[in-house]
């Protein structure tokens, strides 16, 4: 039996009737490294890759909307996550500086159909240009008084998205924020983050470089591309897991590399190969 490792952590998000609504996916490392240590871009890539290619047993929460942190570098890189926009909410955390480049990048992602959550942005006026792209505002209830939260919410009364209270640790807090009009809740009162274990396959870096080169040819030869991917069993297995994950629902399981390419399309395949390459390069 293959050895399993911590791939990520998952913490559910609930609505005001205590129904499961979504899940936030958090970086976890077998070496106990933090997202700040490995870098936000590498952490984002690992979480997405591990979600699709590493988890050995899928449960219903991984078929739900996933809240995922990204770095400012990832946002402005002209790349997009290789998953369907309706499956993910991009969290813009306080470490991201709302520069003009970041705002423009968010606008491009928004045009592609991606949704955003403003997380711990502390109601800084510098973040106001991002409000029109946000579907959620997350408020850390451990850093504000109820009166401060009420004042901030009234100030942003024109916001059309959902308000999410995070770090809720008791029923009284949940009820107090529900009374303020918060619709979503997350915290230890509901569930602690659960570490998800699975297997991790490391494709060949040289093979990935060759495949990426083939992917970006003006008119990629799909037969040659399929053959080269098949020459790396670990990459083949990873791509088969990805295309059979809940992010790409199919009528029947896909078992051939050629069908993987047809299902993903060349654009998403390019993104996946680039993301897998970044994960492989950043592995210790």
pLDDT given for residue 150 in this prediction: 93
Phi, psi (deg, nearest 5) at residue 191: -170, 140
Closest among 82, 89, 113 to 265, alpha carbons compared = 82
Q: Domain boundary at 197, 217, 250, which?
A: 197
Secondary structure (3-state) at 272: helix
Alpha helix stretches (DSSP H) within the chain = 35-38, 40-53, 72-76, 100-111, 146-155, 171-179, 205-215, 222-230, 233-243, 257-282
Contact call for residues 149 and 102 (beta carbons, < 8 A):
no
User: Are 185 and 214 found together in one domain?
Assistant: no
225 and 147 in a common domain: no
Residues in the chain, how many? 284
**221 and 180, same structural domain?**
no
User: Which ranges in 29-69 belong to alpha helices (H)?
Assistant: 35-38, 40-53
- The domain that contains 108 carries what CATH number? 3.20.20.450
Q: Are residue 68 and residue 148 in the same domain, yes or no?
A: yes
Tokens 């293959």 correspond to 2
Bridge partners, 22 (sequence order): 13
Question: Both 168 and 53 in a single domain?
Answer: yes
CB count in 10 Å sphere of residue 178: 15
Residue 272's domain comprises: 204-282
State whether 224 and 141 are in the same domain: no
Among 156, 182, 197, give the residue marking a domain's end. Answer: 197
Which of 146, 167, 197 terminates a domain? The answer is 197
Helix axes 222-230, 205-215, angle to 10 degrees: 170
What phi and psi, each to the nearest 5 degrees, are found at residue 186? -150, 140
Give the Cα separation of 229 and 210 in Å (integer).
Answer: 9
Q: What number of other Cβ atoms are within 10 A of residue 121's Cβ?
A: 21
Predicted pLDDT at 101: 93
Same domain, 271 and 151: no
SS3 call for 196 = strand
The predicted model scores a pTM of: 0.76
The reply to whether 107 and 211 lie within a common domain is: no
- Sequential pLDDT tens for the chain (284 residues): 455 666 678 888 999 998 889 888 887 765 565 666 666 666 777 777 776 665 544 444 456 788 988 888 888 876 777 777 888 899 998 788 889 999 999 999 999 999 999 987 667 888 889 999 999 999 999 998 999 999 999 989 889 999 999 999 999 999 999 999 999 999 999 988 887 766 666 667 677 788 888 888 888 888 899 998 888 887 888 888 888 876 777 778 888 888 989 988 888 888 888 877 766 655 55
Same domain, 96 and 192: yes
Distance of CA 210 to the CA centre of its chain: 27
Same structural domain, 81 and 117: yes
Helices 257-282/205-215 angle, 10° precision: 120
11 and 74, same structural domain?
yes
Q: Are strands 20-27 and 5-15 parallel, antiparallel or unpaired?
A: antiparallel
Whether 134 and 108 have beta carbons less than 8 Å apart is answered as no
Structurally, the chain folds into a number of domains equal to: 2
39 and 147 share one domain: yes
């Amino acid at each position: 039996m293959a050895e399993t490792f911590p791939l990520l952590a998952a913490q559910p998000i609930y609505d005001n009737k205590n129904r499961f609504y979504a899940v936030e996916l958090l970086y976890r490392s077998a070496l106990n490294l933090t997202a700040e240590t490995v870098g936000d871009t590498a952490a984002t890539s690992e979480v997405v890759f591990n979600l699709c290619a590493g988890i050995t047993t899928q449960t219903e929460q991984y078929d739900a909307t996933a809240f995922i942190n990204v770095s400012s570098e990832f946002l402005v890189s002209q790349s997009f996550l290789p998953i369907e926009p309706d499956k993910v909410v991009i969290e813009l955390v306080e470490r991201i500086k709302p520069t003009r480049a970041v705002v423009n990048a968010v606008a491009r992602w928004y045009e592609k159909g991606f949704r955003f959550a403003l997380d711990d942005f502390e109601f800084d006026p510098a973040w106001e240009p991002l409000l029109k792209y946000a579907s959620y505002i997350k408020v850390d209830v451990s850093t504000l008084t109820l009166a401060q939260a009420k004042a901030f919410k009234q100030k942003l009364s024109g916001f059309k998205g959902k308000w999410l209270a995070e770090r809720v640790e008791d029923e009284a807090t949940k009820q107090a924020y529900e009374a303020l009009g918060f619709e979503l809740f997350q915290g230890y009162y509901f569930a602690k983050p659960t570490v998800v274990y699975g297997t991790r396959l490391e494709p060949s870096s040289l093979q990935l470089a060759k495949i990426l080169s083939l992917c970006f040819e003006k008119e990629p030869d799909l037969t040659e591309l399929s053959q080269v991917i098949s020459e790396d069993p670990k990459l083949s297995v990873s791509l088969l897991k990805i295309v059979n994950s809940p992010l790409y629902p199919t009528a029947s399981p896909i078992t051939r590399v050629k069908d993987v390419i047809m299902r993903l399309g060349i654009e998403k395949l390019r993104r996946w190969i680039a993301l897998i390459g970044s994960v492989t390069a950043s592995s210790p």
